[in-house]
Structure 1
């Protein structure tokens, strides 16, 4: 096994509590036999990263101790796993950040994303928390690594993880070929859902958002029409066969229900805040709508990598900003302003 002279520590983005995000030196965890060390090149700031920073929690996952953020990451293997598993040194890789785990609750065996003991890079769902990889070098299980095909640039590849979330959501919508699709909320996940719907053969895609900039991005990746979120009449008139709700607000869910055709399906991928939410359930009942949850993803990452490699999935316009690690706090500040930004990347290069 080739061994490089790796640093013993390095700067990382660490969330301490609501409003307390720091760039500080963190030790590099020595790799076990089935772990590799990856030189991280790009990391995308996710909504959950923003929630940990702004609120000290992401949904039901509450920050109880300092945690390195980051799960949307790509890089190059700097030290391969000692047991020979996984890709070799110099291989460009994406990362599947989930580790399914057992728990008391039952779940379908073919849907490990629902395993109650599942951990995720940069997640406070379990305690001790699972550190993420917003750092220059990260020690990761080799089973998480997905080799990237030649010619796929790492900057675009940084979108593979969120694109897999969008791919899973569209799959939860069922057959979309020839159908009318409505996407509520055109942040990065919503915009990526538009791109996946376009590739999947939806006949008409209508995108909805509060701000003009996200709607511009949605149009660039495949939306046929865009609507302002306040135009309730136009949204209701869409009568979509499938709706992807990715705003993560009860207002967005209300628009999704109103914009769905009778007998349609609403896929809820936007994570609403914890606790009771006002929902138009009566309308969902009388229209016989199917309200379907969508959480993370499973093996869709393989399909996303293939679609990016063959050029059938166009997602480049979703990336709007890029900052070096040293300007990470500024990057988070830009990322939280959905009026001006799509996906904001951290560049961990030297």
Structure 2
């Protein structure tokens, strides 16, 4: 028998139309009811707010936003391993676990993935920016009471970064470049450092982002317009063993083969609309491996453990916090990259 309760949810209906609405949440006996404590604003939330779409996912009906969030367990299914009051990070991924890709262990590539706060499918999959949400038990990753919720709320973007690092292979002793020092780029810097990289260099056009890159572990952070530096990276066939392209900018994507040594690897995790004039010839003659990196698999649980243990401190990236009542102000602040890296909403 389904249960229900009244909630307050942050709903996007169109570009520049986000409101807190009273809604009725219903959930089944096999689901976990979670009281949301806080959540981070992601780039996709910003795109829905500014444009009414995120990439190919276009809003066709009102949708609750948010997929980076943590909370406390309120109700559990019969026989659950979870406990009432337990603190949990919520993995926003819900793959089908039946298709060939899921059965191969590549759940992030599931064609039927129900990802919270996504307009990919109709009806859309609601996100977690509400005072209560209902999720499956497999989406709940418990964490210690002693941990700070504002830290654990970084689990989802950190999982993206750890997955990219895993796609790169061993980084022990490697020279690494990260192009784009937004939140994902900075978390990739931290994950690469935690995975044994010997030297990490970052690029970004923003001085504020370059400073954050240094705080998150980069030995150097360079303006990509500094040709003296970038020209030197192309000498002797390329300086870096691994390049993580986290900006999605056409010029940055096109630059990475020149910076990568022969036999090196480029991991593309930044998404961009533009198709760059990519130097395919360099990729061929230098036998560079180019791989994509999309979301995460079991790296979400790894991210929670790394944050819980203090292996990575994401708080230099936390620029502002707002109550749910000011969710529009929170989104507007998150849109201004001169002001903010990561903005969190408190419920």
Paired with 1:286 and 1:196, the residues of 2 have a C-alpha distance of 30
Paired with 2:145 and 2:39, the residues of 1 have a C-alpha distance of 20
8 Å CA contact 2:38, 2:69 repeated in 1: yes
Post-superposition Cα deviations, 1:9-62, rounded to whole Å, max 9, x if no partner, equal 232221212332222222222x21111111111110011111112222222222
Q: Is 1:20 aligned to 2:25, yes or no?
A: no
Matches within 5 A, 1:41-52: 41-52=37-48
Post-superposition Cα deviations, 1:147-177, rounded to whole Å, max 9, x if no partner, equal 0024211110000111001000111111111
CA 1:195–1:228 in structure 2 vs 1: closer, same or farther (change >3 Å)?
Answer: same
Corresponding residue of 1:36: 32
Structure 1: runs of 5 or more not aligned: 1-5
CA deviation after TM superposition for structure 1 residue 205, in Å: 0.4
CA deviation after TM superposition for structure 1 residue 264, in Å: 1.6
Paired with 1:235 and 1:338, the residues of 2 have a C-alpha distance of 24
8 Å CA contact 1:103, 1:115 repeated in 2: no
Paired with 1:21 and 1:65, the residues of 2 have a C-alpha distance of 12
Q: What secondary structure does 1:28 align onto? A: strand
Paired with 1:288 and 1:122, the residues of 2 have a C-alpha distance of 39
CA deviation after TM superposition for structure 1 residue 103, in Å: 9.1
CA deviation after TM superposition for structure 1 residue 295, in Å: 0.5
Corresponding residue of 1:3: none
CA deviation after TM superposition for structure 1 residue 106, in Å: 5.9
Paired with 2:54 and 2:263, the residues of 1 have a C-alpha distance of 32
Structure 2: runs of 5 or more not aligned: 234-238
CA deviation after TM superposition for structure 1 residue 235, in Å: 3.0
Matches within 5 A, 1:114-263: 114-238=109-233, 239-263=239-263
Residues 249-258 or 184-193, more deviating? 249-258
Q: What secondary structure does 2:343 align onto? A: strand
CA deviation after TM superposition for structure 1 residue 278, in Å: 3.5
Residues 215-224 or 246-255, more deviating? 246-255
Corresponding residue of 2:236: none
8 Å CA contact 1:232, 1:255 repeated in 2: no
Paired with 1:276 and 1:245, the residues of 2 have a C-alpha distance of 14
8 Å CA contact 2:151, 2:313 repeated in 1: no
Paired with 1:101 and 1:250, the residues of 2 have a C-alpha distance of 34
Paired with 1:44 and 1:66, the residues of 2 have a C-alpha distance of 20
8 Å CA contact 1:71, 1:122 repeated in 2: yes
Corresponding residue of 2:59: 63
8 Å CA contact 2:39, 2:67 repeated in 1: yes
Paired with 1:334 and 1:28, the residues of 2 have a C-alpha distance of 29
CA 1:337–1:229 in structure 2 vs 1: closer, same or farther (change >3 Å)?
Answer: farther
8 Å CA contact 1:103, 1:117 repeated in 2: no
8 Å CA contact 1:39, 1:78 repeated in 2: yes
Corresponding residue of 2:73: 77
